[in-house]
Structures are given as C-alpha cells and as structure tokens.
Amino acid sequence: MREKIRILILEDNAADAELAQRELEKAGLSFVASIVAAKWEFLQQLDVFDPDIILSDYKLPGFDGISAMRVAVARKPEIPFVFVTGEMGEERAIDTLKEGATDYVLKQRLARLGPAVERALAEVEEKSQRRRAEENYRTVFETTGTAMCVLGEDSVVLSANRGFERLLGYAVGEPEPEVRFKQVVSRDGPEVEDFYRYHREVLSGGGTDPVFFKTRVVHRDGRTLYVLASMGRLPGTRNSVLSLIDVTREKKFEGELKERAERLRDFLTVASHEIRHPITVIKGYTEMLEDVDIEIPEDMVADIYASMDDAANRLIRIVTELMDMSLIENDGIELDMTSCEIKELVLEAATDKRGWRADRHVEVEVLSDPGLATVDRVRFMYVLDELLDNADKYSPEGSPVSVTLEARAGIALVSVLDRGPGIPESDRERVFERFYQVEDALNHSKPGMGLGLYIVKQLLDAQGGKIWYEPRDGGGSAFRFSIPK
Ligand code: ADP
C-alpha cells in the first residue's frame, strides 16, 4: 500500500467535498485528494491521479454518479467506488451495490465515511493478498514436476495442471469433454476398484492426510503407464487433490534387472553343467588309463583318446566363448580388417566340418558373386562356423544344411539354411541376446551356453554387418547376415 491514500472525490459542491475530507482526517486517515466535478476531469484523473478509492456524489450537474460508477467499474474494477450522497433511496442504493459500487454513505451520517473507506481499502488489500496467494499456488501447481488434478466427488477432473496434460494427454477444460478419472485408470486389472476404494477412504476420512498407492493409468494414445499416486481431501469440500508420478521407466528398468538376474542364474546352471560334462569325461578316462588292473583292448584306446580330445575341444570352445564375451563387454572388439574374397571364405568354412555328424553335407550355392569385401578374416570365419555348427546341432541327423551367397546393393548377403525345428516367433529377436536359449535351463538338452549368436551379432555389428533370422517355407531356419562391400 502507498504511504498516503489517494482519494478521487467526484463532487460539485465544494463545501460537501471539504466536509468529507474533514471526516476522513478525523478518522485518522492519511490521504491526498483530488476533487473533480466534470466528466472529463473525472475520466482524466482516473488515469492521471491513479486513485486508491473513489468517493462520488449521486447527483451532479451534467454527469451523474451512476454513469461515473459504470465507467470506473468497467475501466478500473479493482478500485472501490463509494457513493457519498444525500438523496439515495434504500432500493436504489442496493441496485448500485449490485452493479459494482462498494458502499454508500449518506451525507447526513458522514461519520460513517472514515470507517467505510477503511473497510473498502481493507477489502481491496485482502482481495489482492488472496489473488497473490492463489497465483502462488497456481504457480506451484503448474511448475511442480508431478501431474496434479482436482477431482470432484464423482471423480470428474475439475482442474488439472500441465503435468497432468503431459502425462495423460488430456487437456482438461475447453474444448475437451468432461474427463472422469476412472476412465483414465487401467481397466485390465484391479486398478479401478482400488481407485474407488482409495477415493472413498479419502472422502470418508475426517482429516486431509493423503493416501498413497501405486496404480496404472492409460494415456489417451493407449499407452499404459505405471504411476505412484497420492490423494488427499481438499479441506471443507468433497473434492480431492490427486498427484501422479510417472514411474514407468523405473518399472521397466526393474523388470529388466529382474530378468537379467534370472538369466544370469540360468546361465550359471547351464555353464557349470557344460563345463562339468567334458571334465567328467576326461577325468573318467584318465583314471581308467592309469589303472593298472584294467586291461583296455588296443582298438578301444584310440576311441578313448578321441573322446578325450572331443571333451578337451569342448572345454576350449567354452573358454573361448567366455573370453570373447568378456572382451566384448569390457574392452570392445579389436578388428584386423583386410580385403577378402567372400566366396573363398564361405567355401572354406563349409568344407572343414570335423566334429559334425558323419553324414552331414553342406551345400554351397553362389547365387551371385559379391567379390571382395573388407572383413576381419578370423572373426568372419568364426561367424560362419558358429552358424553352421548351430545348423548341425539343432537339425536332425541327415537333414540338409546349405549356405547361399549373393551380391546385393553394397553388401554381400550370406544365408545359412537348415531343415531343423526353426525358432518360435517370440524368440527370434531374443536368440541374439546374451545367455538366451530357447530351451529353459532345466531342460537343457544340447551343449551350448546361449552365447554363440550373441557373439556372432557383436562381431558382425563391429564389422558394419547385420544378422537376422527368417523362418523357411517348408520348415527350418534361415540365419542371414550382410557385410558391407
Ligand atoms: P547355444 O550355444 O546355446 O546354441 P546360441 O546363441 O548359439 O546358443 O543360440 C541361441 C538359441 O537359439 C539356442 O539355444 C537355440 O535354441 C536357438 N538356435 C540357434 N540356432 C538354431 C538353429 N539353427 N535352429 C534352431 N534353433 C537354433
């Protein structure tokens, strides 16, 4: 508030104006006054003098108090307008109050003027404080990171902040239709029922303590979101305020962590089994060979050594896969890129198939020769070997395995094809993930740790290539990979 109250007095009678001022002084008000009688002066002073309050006579020559009040209310609605008049009937006075006047004081009872002015100014101050407080709350409401809304008793969203609009895609108010919160809560679980329960709890409770709960809500575009909600009663009403914090990402992350932990546990089961098996073979045979009491026929000794060799190779393979994984995860893969004839590499990989089932034959079909490409030769061969070994491992004995080679725009396309069981649709992307196996750990029927395709994918990615799976017409798998030329 300013140091001195600025009072604009609309009065044609100088003596009355004087009397009014005296009354105000008597009431102890510190003020400056501007006295005007004509319309033009009044309008001008409304801006120039910038009053805190207007006192106006009712009847003036050439300009009446009612018109002055209408102008003032229209232009400066925040300035209180008090009639000071000798001739205003009760009814007329009430009408002027309805139209926007703040008060009226009869000239015959001028002692009321001081208190009336003080009250009017106090009301203005209170209103502006309330407005400031509302603005502050509005700012808090809007700028808080959480989505907030006010719910009516019937769960209609009465008002909502921008966070709510952002979270759920509903703009509450014009030109949106009414939004009921139960429409927003997910319907494919207990959430709607839970929400009603919490809402009832909030409305029936005496205090304003909020209830906290987790729920799922559905964005207008159909996405389901996980939220932490708190709901509390607005004092003195049947409305409640609801705030929502989006924890969808955290929830997803939590799910991923859980899945990773499960996958790691399965991996440890599988890996220990994989390692124990060849060790048991080697240990069993060495004990047998060392035992002087056991006489082993000549022809069996060769078989024993071959089995021990297989077991040792299996262990080497396991260790290599583990080392490759560790390299990929920790230091990244170092490549030795050279220009190679892709056809040669494919033919070489397809011919040297020791360790495969004896009657397996790999057909190579060069559909078009891609010529040279820059690759890491060793890693490229590893990829082909791994895919061919899987084709052998997962398809029945005697069924055909083949490789096709094609030149496509800017790439060499290699496909490893088999007539095995294929891969269920839901697993087709996932088989390239670390430790992923289609069979679960308990039914582990084939050797392997779920690392082969993961390493293959990482090696190809590092060489600028891509790998994907396609089911084959007539059954079986096609693993295709491209490598830039
Ligand atoms: P593993 O070393 O355990 O075989 P991979 O990463 O090489 O692991 O393969 C992951 C999973 O993909 C395997 O568990 C297997 O179920 C499936 N898979 C891979 N290749 C084939 C294939 N040619 N036919 C059918 N399933 C396959």
Does the pLDDT value for residue 80 go beyond 80?
yes
Q: Which residue's C-alpha comes closest to atom 23 of ligand 1?
A: 391
CA 443 distance to own-chain centroid: 38
Which pLDDT value is given to residue 189?
86
Which pLDDT value is given to residue 71?
94
CA distance 115 to 26: 11
List CB contacts of 63: < 8 A, sequence separation 6 or more: 10, 37, 38, 39, 42
Does the pLDDT value for residue 174 go beyond 70?
no
CA distance 239 to 253: 35
**129-142 pLDDT, tens digit each:** 999 999 998 898 88
Which pLDDT value is given to residue 355?
59
Q: How confident is the model at residue 454 (pLDDT cuts 50, 70, 90)?
A: very high
Does the pLDDT value for residue 349 go beyond 70?
yes
Best residue among 453, 455, 468, 472 to mutate for probing ligand 1's pocket (most ligand atoms within 8 Å of CB) is: 453
Percent of the chain with pLDDT over 90: 70
Which pLDDT value is given to residue 472?
97
Measured in Å, residue 276 CA sits from the centre of ligand 1 at 21
- Most confident among 163-172, 289-298, 373-382 (mean pLDDT): 373-382
Does the pLDDT value for residue 114 go beyond 90?
yes
Q: How confident is the model at residue 296 (pLDDT cuts 50, 70, 90)?
A: confident
Which pLDDT value is given to residue 348?
92
Does the pLDDT value for residue 172 go beyond 80?
no
CA distance 72 to 102: 12
Locate the DSSP E strands across 11-151. Answer: 31-36, 53-56, 81-85, 103-106, 147-151
Q: What is the mean pLDDT of residues 411-416?
A: 97
**What does pTM read for this prediction?**
0.60
Ranges 32-46, 333-347, 376-390, 435-449: which has the least confidence: 435-449
CA distance 155 to 153: 5
CA distance 288 to 283: 9
Q: What is the mean pLDDT of residues 137-153?
A: 89
Which pLDDT value is given to residue 308?
94
**226-280 pLDDT, tens digit each:** 999 999 999 889 999 999 999 999 999 999 999 989 989 989 998 999 999 999 9
More confident residue, 62 or 32: 32
Q: What is the mean pLDDT of residues 200-226?
A: 90
Query: Which atom, in ligand 1's list, is nearest to the CA of 416?
Result: 23
Measured in Å, residue 330 CA sits from the centre of ligand 1 at 24
Measured in Å, residue 368 CA sits from the centre of ligand 1 at 28
Measured in Å, residue 431 CA sits from the centre of ligand 1 at 7
Q: Which residue's C-alpha comes closest to atom 19 of ligand 1?
A: 390
User: Measuring CA to CA, which residue among 190, 254, 241 is closest to residue 216?
Assistant: 190
